[in-house]
């Protein structure tokens, strides 16, 4: 990692340690309780992940802008909603120094202790494969010196789903249960927390690992191989075929197969942790 990139990374890591105090009460609840209208009615927030993610972004934005100013960077927002990244940090003294920062939020899985729902890490489509493309990206991918995820892992509060249709008065503010809480923040270069599987259905999105301990430590499947392997794999995802022992041709869609195909060291592939449901205790 270059000095400029490492300096930015260290500053970002220090910054995220301060964020919980801005959005969390002393007992770990989200300080956002709902939407208020001019009649002082408060409407509960939906626990839908897209709604929660957007409000979290809005809630944190003033702190992000203040942080950027403090370290000598300007923040450029994407021109369109589906553009990458969420935030472009540009050095005020040298505009060729740019960093991509994507805001990522995900919730802990109740049925799988130690795991989160995961998240996507951007497209592996046109702008990823052609590093000078301007399609769906604020600046060409190759213009960024680093690509980071600023992540938030939270727990969903049980029982709040049924309260989504409720309306409260302003005087009841303190008694409203937040829909989420128990926040953990992290910063990682996105290749370090990447999976070798697509992150969402039929779209060309890179998936993440899901074991929380590994996310926080940056121990994704590429973490021992390096960023060049991450780039090579996802630029060619689903495009390379190989013949099995029975002579059938299939696409390469696992990192182990890809590293073997490229003649690399497959022992450097970090296995993904498997989600295992806790065993039910037998009565008696």
State pTM to two decimals: 0.90
Of 165 and 273, the structure prediction assigns the larger pLDDT to 273
Determine, yes or no, domain membership for 92.
yes
Burial class (CB in 10 A: 0-12, 13-18, 19+), 71: middle
Q: Which residues make Cβ contacts (< 8 Å) with residue 270, sequence separation at least 6?
A: 219, 220, 221, 222, 223, 224
Determine, yes or no, domain membership for 269.
no
- Rounded to whole angstroms, the Cα distance separating 243 from 240 reads 11
**Would you place residue 77 in the very low, low, confident or very high pLDDT band (cuts 50, 70, 90)?**
very high
Query: Residue 282: is the preceding peptide bond cis (ω within 30°)?
Result: no
Mean pLDDT throughout 146-167?
81
pLDDT, one tens digit per residue, over 198-229 is: 887 667 899 999 999 999 999 999 999 999 99
- Rounded to whole angstroms, the Cα distance separating 220 from 153 reads 16
**Would you place residue 152 in the very low, low, confident or very high pLDDT band (cuts 50, 70, 90)?**
very high
Average pLDDT value over all residues in the chain: 91
pLDDT at residue 284 in the model: 47
Name the residues annotated as catalytic.
86, 102, 104
Determine, yes or no, domain membership for 275.
no
pLDDT at residue 280 in the model: 62
What domain range is 204 assigned to?
A: 3-223
Q: What is the DSSP string of 151-218?
A: EEEEEEPTT-GGGTT-EEEGGGGGGPPPSEEEEEEEEEEGGGGEEEEESSTTS-EEEE--BHHHHHHT
Determine, yes or no, domain membership for 178.
yes
**pLDDT surpassing 80 at residue 188:** yes
pLDDT at residue 163 in the model: 53
pLDDT, one tens digit per residue, over 9-55 is: 999 999 999 999 899 988 899 999 989 999 999 998 888 888 999 99
**Would you place residue 243 in the very low, low, confident or very high pLDDT band (cuts 50, 70, 90)?**
confident
| Residue 140: CATH number of its domain | 3.40.600.10
pLDDT at residue 177 in the model: 87
Number of domains the chain is built from: 1
Mean pLDDT throughout 103-117?
94
Helix-strand-coil percent breakdown of the chain, rounded to 5?
30, 25, 40
pLDDT, one tens digit per residue, over 53-72 is: 999 999 999 999 999 999 99
pLDDT at residue 165 in the model: 64
Of 201 and 77, the structure prediction assigns the larger pLDDT to 77
Determine, yes or no, domain membership for 127.
yes
């Amino acid at each position: 990692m270059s000095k400029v990139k490492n300096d930015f990374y260290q500053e970002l890591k220090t910054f995220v340690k301060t964020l919980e105090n801005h959005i969390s009460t002393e007992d770990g609840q989200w300080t956002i309780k709902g939407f208020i209208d001019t009649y002082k009615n408060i409407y509960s927030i939906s626990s839908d992940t897209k709604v929660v993610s957007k409000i979290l972004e809005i809630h944190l934005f003033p702190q992000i802008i203040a942080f950027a100013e403090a370290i000598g960077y300007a923040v450029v927002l994407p021109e369109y909603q589906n553009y990458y990244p969420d935030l472009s940090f540009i050095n005020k003294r040298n505009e060729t120094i740019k960093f991509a920062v994507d805001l990522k939020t995900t919730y802990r899985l109740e049925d799988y202790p130690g795991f989160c729902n995961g998240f996507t890490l951007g497209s592996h489509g046109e702008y990823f494969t052609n590093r000078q493309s301007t399609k769906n990206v604020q600046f060409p991918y190759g213009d960024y010196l680093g690509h980071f995820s600023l992540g938030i892992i939270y727990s969903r509060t049980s029982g709040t789903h049924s309260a989504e249709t409720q309306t409260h008065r302003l005087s009841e503010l303190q008694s409203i249960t937040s829909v989420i809480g128990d926040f953990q923040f992290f910063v990682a270069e996105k290749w370090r927390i990447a999976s070798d599987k697509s992150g969402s259905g039929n779209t060309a999105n890179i998936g993440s690992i899901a074991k929380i301990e590994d996310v926080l430590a940056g121990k994704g499947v590429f973490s021992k191989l390096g960023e060049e392997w991450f780039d090579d794999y996802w630029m060619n995802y689903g495009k390379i075929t190989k013949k099995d022992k029975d002579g059938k041709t299939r696409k390469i869609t696992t990192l182990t197969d890809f590293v073997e195909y490229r003649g690399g060291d497959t022992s450097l592939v970090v296995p993904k942790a498997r989600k295992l449901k806790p065993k039910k205790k037998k009565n008696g």
